[in-house]
Amino acid sequence: MAEAVVAGAQSVSGTQVILKRVGKVTAEDLFSADAVVVGSPVYWSNMSGEVKTFFDNWQFKFGVFPEFKMRNKVGAAFATGGQVSSGKEVAMLTILAAMLGNQMIVVSGGGAFGASATTEGESPGIDKTELADAKALGVRVAEVARLIKAASPR
């Protein structure tokens, strides 16, 4: 899913993309980015512990708050879950809520809250439609980030 989001974003002219696991993201990565897309597997209708720690680190490790250093950056989410209704939407909403709490501009794409995939069932793995949704999310994030950056005072 993450690679499909990257492919979508890279298809927008002038976009530079860095793909990292949340545990490897630095303050410089966050502050220099125009957009941040966070994905997570779903655990009991919530983001994974590693992703939760990433958002906790925005304050404790990176010093994002109280200056709202992520303000007006574009944010988006994607999730993977084992079943059709495994709480993927709720997990994405918890990611988006963390972004909104930091005054980011959140966008959707691929689905109402972001892109999602069901990884178990009749055809285990991520299917072509789900990958297309992830790519569409990447395109939308890159396009909106470009619009926001162009409208921002320099």
Domain holding 36: CATH number? 3.40.50.360
Does some domain include residue 49?
yes
What one-letter code names the amino acid at 119?
T
Candidate from 23-27, 34-38, 58-62 with smallest mean pLDDT: 58-62
Residue 30 belongs to a domain: yes
For residue 30, pLDDT over 70 is answered with yes
Q: Is 108 inside a domain boundary?
A: yes
At residue 123, does pLDDT exceed 80? Answer: no
Model pLDDT for residues 61-80, shown as the tens digit of each residue: 999 988 999 999 999 999 99
DSSP string for residues in 8-66: HHHTSTT-------GGG--HHHHHH-SEEEEEEE-BTTB--HHHHHHHHHHHHTT--TT
Question: Percent of the chain having pLDDT more than 90?
Answer: 83
| pTM reported for the whole predicted model | 0.93
Residue 37 counted as domain residue = yes
pLDDT band at 103 (very low <50, low <70, confident <90, very high): very high
Whole-angstrom Cα distance, residue 73 to residue 81?
A: 27
Domain membership flag for residue 154: no
Distance from C-alpha of 22 to C-alpha of 5, rounded to nearest angstrom: 15
Do residues 61 and 100 lie in contact, with contact meaning Cβ atoms separated by under 8 Å?
no
- Provide the residue range defining the domain that includes 11: 2-149
Contact 102, 62 (CB under 8 A): no
Q: Give the closest residue to 22 by CA, choosing from 97, 69, 78, 93.
A: 78
Interval 37-63 mean pLDDT: 94
Number of structural domains the chain divides into: 1
Looking at per-residue pLDDT, the higher value among 140 and 119 belongs to 140
133 found inside a domain? yes
